[in-house]
Amino acid sequence: MVAVGEIAAGIGKREAGGATGHAAELANWLSRILAFYPARIMPFGLQEALHLRQLARAARNNGVEIGIADMMVASIAVSADLVVATRNEKHFVAMGVARVNPFEWEGSAA
């Protein structure tokens, strides 16, 4: 759900910046993704919210400041025993979250 919010916010920024055609294309794409894969949209609920405490502590103990969106994604992944696919490995390493960089993937998650 967090990624959906980030994408929707990005579409709004494109609209505000005058890129309405591109924003419309992205909005259409997002609508199709949500229609085709509704069961794959992971919720952010109470369990995930409470898990933010451990993730924030781990990040701070590792000297890394992390925004709430990345912590929310990490919390959803940890709660569902999933691996995060991201280029932003620094934040997820600091939280101790299993991750894979899809642009450098060699067949196994860290």
Q: How far apart are CA 68 and CA 56, in angstroms?
A: 9
Q: CA distances (Å), 62 to each of 47, 73, 101, in order?
A: 23, 18, 20
User: Which domains, ranges and CATH numbers included, belong to the chain?
Assistant: 2-40 (no CATH), 46-100 (3.40.50.1010)
Q: How far apart are CA 82 and CA 59, in angstroms?
A: 19
Going by pLDDT thresholds of 50, 70 and 90, the confidence category of residue 1 is confident
Instruction: Give per-residue pLDDT as tens, 31-89.
Output: 999 999 998 888 999 999 999 999 999 999 999 999 999 999 999 999 999 999 999 89
- The per-residue pLDDT for 110 is 53
